Amino acid sequence: MRKDKTAGTIRFGISKKLLLSVVLMTILICVVSTLSGYIQYSNTIRKLYNENGYVIANIILDHIDHDKVGQYAETWTEDEDYAEIAAYIKNVEVASGAAYIYIVTVYEDQTVRYVFDSSGVPIGDTDPVSSYFDKVWACYTEGTSPDNYMVRHSPRYGYLTSSMLPVIDSQGKIVALLFVDVWMEMILSTLYGYIAKMILFSLGILAVFSVAYWFFMRRNFVGPLMRIRKNVTEFAQNSTATTTRLEDIRTKDEIQDLAESIRLMEDDIVKYIENIRNITAEKERIGAELNVATQIQADMLPRIFPAFPDRREFDIYATMTPAKEVGGDFYDFFLIDHDHLGLVMADVSGKGVPAALFMVIAKTLIKNRAQMGGGPAEVLQYVNEQLCEGNEAELFVTVWFAIMDLQTGKGLAANAGHEHPALRRADGTYELVVYRHSPAVAALEGMRFREHEFELHPGDSLFVYTDGVTEATNMGNELFGTGRMLDELNQDPDAAPEMLLRNMRQAIDAFVGDAPQFDDITMLGLHYTGPEGENHG
């Protein structure tokens, strides 16, 4: 036992813990073996006593007149024959060593009335049945003997085992019950002696085994462990080389294997520390480059708002929060000409640098091809063919792409495997615009894409997003879902796009809590005010 320098508390060393464990285990074995022996021995003795009682009861039933017993149970009067039967029962009690022998009738109020009793209780006296009444009543009414022995203890009669048989007259009627009670003092004294001998024997074995085990463990286990501990402590203070030799530990067991493993491990740690220094320097370089990549990716997305301060037809705002340093989500909006606005919301499969590179290519292709003219389906068909060439990484991108006439509010949209947008009419609520998707871009060569018409009226608002919004997951592995998204949008449906997206992000953060972000979260909000800027803001 020594004092812990760090905690200031007293603790046991490993050798004392081992010795204590041996002592406790031996005591436990002693207790279990003694208890199991006591139960088995006790049950055996009780059974023998009980069976002996039934032997005595059967002898008595063979030598008494059952019809006379029935007569006394009805009249409750004595005659010369009564005294003869009573004397016989008393003689059997003395000869057999039984405690009590008595014949009774039984009543439903859980009492018995004595017909004969070897202890001198007068005929007709009553007594309550203290236990096993159900078995007594079954025997009295049905002639059913108990299927196991009855052991009882009462302050008045002491510790007894009872044997019980019905007294049946010549008409086959049960007229009384014969009880033979046998004393149980002998079993108690025998059991106490057994327990004492078991305890003394176990303590002797404990003392011899503990001493032998102490020396054995000290030599073959504790000693080598202490040397290993000293070696590890010295190595922890100086991790450049070992200071204590472990080769001379030759226990030819797992302790020797442990010493050899620790020696090899210390050599590996010295090499590993050097590698860590090199890896750390490389990681810092890569981290710096990723920071630059993050900044480049952010600069590629429109993030200066208001984006078109001189245009009164619409108000637009968008955000992208990557799950890693760089992400695969992207959004875009751009004027194709004076009257047409292009809107893009996309999500590249995968995460990290590969997805970010694919995102750069996809974004550039979409914008460049859209400014050359053509509808959303035509643009996505062109981008699909370009991305499928040399796509060994088998990446793909889900895209929602729309081209809208700012003067009329009419437009065309193509949805290539992306989330359904949410639309709010003026003075209404946000609802999902659900229609059939086309497959994702770069999933299959030669793909043609569907497009559908839409029309925004002054005062209408549009919300598009990636699956990072609906699939945001909290600590209970529960998804944010489209239901919560629509509820949050309709909390303040008149909010401007910037406030709308800010409210949505706060709702997602509150729902997710401390759970990590697994996917990029990208959102875009558009409020259409019309060609003359009505309902602006």
Q: Give me the mean pLDDT over the 515-526 stretch.
A: 91
On the question of pLDDT at 12 being above 70, the answer is: no
pLDDT at 431: 96
Q: Give me the mean pLDDT over the 86-92 stretch.
A: 92
pLDDT at 132: 83
Say which DSSP state 474 is in: -
- The answer to which of 42-46, 120-124, 356-360, 434-438 has the lowest mean pLDDT is 42-46
pLDDT single digits (tens) 442-452: 999 999 999 99
Tokens of 88: 């016989």
Q: Decide if 15-188 and 303-528 have a common fold.
A: no
pLDDT at 287: 62
189, 256, 261, 286, 448 from 185: Cα distances, Å = 6, 59, 64, 88, 100
pLDDT at 11: 55
Q: Give me the mean pLDDT over the 145-167 stretch.
A: 77
Task: Identify whether the C-beta of residue 454 lies closer than 8 Å to the C-beta of residue 402.
Answer: yes
Mean pLDDT of the chain: 84
On the question of pLDDT at 59 being above 50, the answer is: yes
> Where exactly are the structural domains of the chain?
15-188, 303-528
pLDDT at 32: 77
The dihedral sign for the CA sequence 272, 278, 282, 285: positive
Q: Give me the mean pLDDT over the 417-433 stretch.
A: 95
Higher pLDDT, 354 or 431: 431
Q: Quick check: helix, strand or coil at residue 535? A: coil
pLDDT single digits (tens) 291-323: 666 666 667 889 889 999 999 999 999 999 888
* CATH (residue range 15-188): 3.30.450.20
* CATH (residue range 303-528): 3.60.40.10
Burial of 284: CB neighbours in 10 Å, binned 0-12, 13-18, 19+: exposed
DSSP lists the bridge partners of residue 151 as 161
Q: Give me the mean pLDDT over the 17-33 stretch.
A: 75
Q: Give me the mean pLDDT over the 223-239 stretch.
A: 71
On the question of pLDDT at 104 being above 90, the answer is: yes
Task: Identify whether the C-beta of residue 27 lies closer than 8 Å to the C-beta of residue 35.
Answer: no
Task: Identify whether the C-beta of residue 423 lies closer than 8 Å to the C-beta of residue 433.
Answer: yes
Instruction: Tell me the Ramachandran region of residue 23: left when phi exceeds 0, alpha when psi lies from -120 to 50, beta otherwise.
Output: alpha
pLDDT at 537: 40
